[in-house]
């Protein structure tokens, strides 16, 4: 098979690493790819389909990539980043007769529009935090003062995993609202703000590979987004993860399947937008059981870097079965005897202003059967690797 992978980050490096292990892969391409991905695939840096879904140039980029994929006779396209999904890459490719792993733009609203996601859960009784959606900062601030703190403030749109603020004081929550709605810190993603009840418990990430009706789940994981030791400081795109997540017992996993995944897939089918691809369920394990913190329409980052090394099945088989609607006929094998951990190395100052272009060395000494370095945000400058967010698992 000829396979095209969309994206360039650490998640996509892990996907390329796993896809390349399949005996079914004849050629693997990545758009745009990265120096790390280049070890496994032919990179296509001319296709930068990794921009905001509201960028007016993104559809033109998708059209150009589609033209290339048709000419190259790509058998399967695997989409990594949420912005390309929300912009309708799967819709355009599918309309042209190409097989794609990932949800349509309408189904991707489960992540790209948090108010849509919260309303859907409320309507069908999926356990989640109580919430209200606002477009006016004054009304949102009044609601915060009524509810008190701690409280959670989220940009409704896509914010690269950084749009959720757990405010421990009313002042923090009010500042977050003003930054999102009035300060435009997340652009259009923050025009609508979802304010949620704070949930107490331990978080876990559950990934379901779906085909519109049926699904299989992968090994659970737990990620850590705060920049500082002990989960302190501002949120990042993710500073590390481990799998499996001990908090997700077999009983809780079954409850999540029955109370979260199945009803959501059923409702999306009813709405005429069957969900194919990966449904990421961010869960809070509360005293009442699992409750949904958020849904994502793609593999998580950096959870993918610890989940895929524990997947024994052929990833190509799973992606194709998801796209074709045959997940129920595709066996899945997980390595439940081992664990994996990922640690992200980032430039000082991240996630705020930070130095870019710093040279990276020493990766050649990272060796071993059970150690892998995945690249996120790296570039080659004068034959030297620069700016690393590296994920290692053991």
Can the peptide bond before residue 111 be classed as cis, meaning omega within 30 degrees of 0?
no
Per-residue pLDDT at 157: 63
CATH of 345-394, one of 3.90.600.10, 3.20.20.210, 3.90.25.10, 1.20.1070.10: 3.90.600.10
CB distance 15 to 80 below 8 Å: yes
Could you list the mean pLDDT of each consecutive 10-residue stretch along the chain, which spans 394 residues? 95 97 98 93 84 57 94 97 92 97 97 90 94 85 88 74 78 88 65 85 96 98 87 82 96 97 98 98 95 94 95 98 97 95 86 80 73 85 57 42
- pLDDT score recorded for residue 20: 98
Topology of domain 200-338, CATH: D-amino Acid Aminotransferase; Chain A, domain 1 (3.30.470)
Helices assigned H by DSSP within the chain: 10-19, 58-72, 82-86, 89-95, 109-112, 114-124, 137-147, 170-177, 250-256, 262-270, 304-307, 315-324
Residue-wise burial string across 51-86, b where 16 or more C-beta atoms lie within 10 A, e elsewhere: ebbeeeebeebbeebbebbeeeebbbbbbbbbbbbb
Which single residue is written with the structure tokens 């190259």?
72
d(CA 110, CA 120): 9
The tokens describing 17, both together, are 């690493």
Give span(s): CATH 3.30.1490.20, the chain: 130-197
CATH 3.30.470.20 boundaries in the chain: 200-338
The token duo for 228 is 């500082």
Instruction: Tell me what pLDDT residue 312 has.
Output: 97
User: What sign has the CA pseudo-torsion 214, 86, 113, 346?
Assistant: positive
Taken as a whole, the chain contains a residue count of 394
pLDDT at 358: 79
CB 334 within 8 Å of CB 221: no
> Quick one: tokens of 239?
């500073």
Q: CATH 3.90.600.10 in the chain, residues?
A: 345-394
State the chain's maximal CA–CA distance in angstroms.
60
CATH 3.40.50.20 fits 2-101, yes or no: yes
Alpha carbon distances (Å) from 341 to 138, 239, 266, 333, 373: 43, 11, 34, 20, 12
- Stretch(es) of the chain classified as CATH 3.40.50.20: 2-101
CATH of segment(s) 130-197: 3.30.1490.20
pTM: 0.88
* Among 145, 129, 113, 151, CA closest to 293: 129
């Amino acid at each position: 098979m000829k396979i095209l992978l969309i994206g360039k980050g650490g998640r996509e490096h892990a996907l390329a690493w796993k896809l390349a292990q399949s005996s079914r892969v004849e050629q693997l391409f990545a758009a745009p790819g990265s120096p790390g991905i280049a070890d496994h695939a032919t990179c296509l840096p001319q296709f930068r389909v990794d921009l905001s879904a509201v960028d007016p140039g993104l559809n033109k980029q998708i059209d150009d990539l589609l033209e290339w994929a048709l000419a190259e006779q790509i058998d399967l396209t695997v989409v990594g980043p949420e912005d390309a999904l929300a912009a309708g890459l799967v819709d355009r490719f599918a309309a042209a007769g190409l097989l794609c792993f990932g949800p349509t733009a309408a189904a991707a609203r489960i992540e790209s529009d948090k108010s849509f996601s919260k309303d859907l859960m409320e309507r069908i009784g999926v356990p989640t935090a109580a919430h209200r959606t606002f477009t006016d900062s004054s009304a949102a601030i009044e609601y915060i003062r009524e509810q008190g703190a701690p409280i959670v403030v989220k940009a409704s749109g896509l914010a690269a995993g950084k749009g959720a603020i757990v405010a421990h004081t009313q002042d923090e929550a009010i500042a977050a609202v003003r930054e999102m709605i009035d300060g435009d810190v997340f652009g259009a993603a923050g025009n609508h703000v979802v304010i949620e009840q704070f949930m107490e418990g331990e978080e876990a990430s559950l990934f379901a590979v779906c085909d519109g009706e049926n699904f299989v789940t992968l090994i659970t994981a737990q990620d850590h987004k705060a920049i500082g030791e002990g989960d302190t400081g501002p949120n990042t795109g993710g500073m590390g993860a481990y799998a499996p997540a001990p908090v997700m017992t077999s009983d809780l996993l079954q409850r999540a399947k029955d109370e979260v995944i199945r009803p959501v897939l059923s409702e999306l089918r009813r709405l005429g937008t069957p969900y194919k691809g990966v449904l990421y369920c961010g869960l809070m394990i509360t005293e009442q059981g699992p409750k949904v913190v958020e849904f994502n329409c793609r593999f998580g980052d950096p959870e993918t870097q610890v989940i895929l090394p524990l997947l024994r099945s052929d990833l190509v088989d799973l992606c194709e079965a998801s796209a074709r609607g045959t997940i129920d006929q595709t066996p899945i094998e997980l390595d439940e005897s081992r664990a994996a951990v990922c640690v992200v190395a980032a430039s000082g100052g991240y996630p705020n202003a930070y130095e870019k272009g710093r040279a990276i060395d020493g990766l050649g000494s990272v060796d071993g059967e059970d150690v892998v370095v995945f690249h996120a945000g790296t570039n080659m400058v004068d034959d030297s690797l620069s700016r690393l967010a590296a994920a290692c698992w053991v």
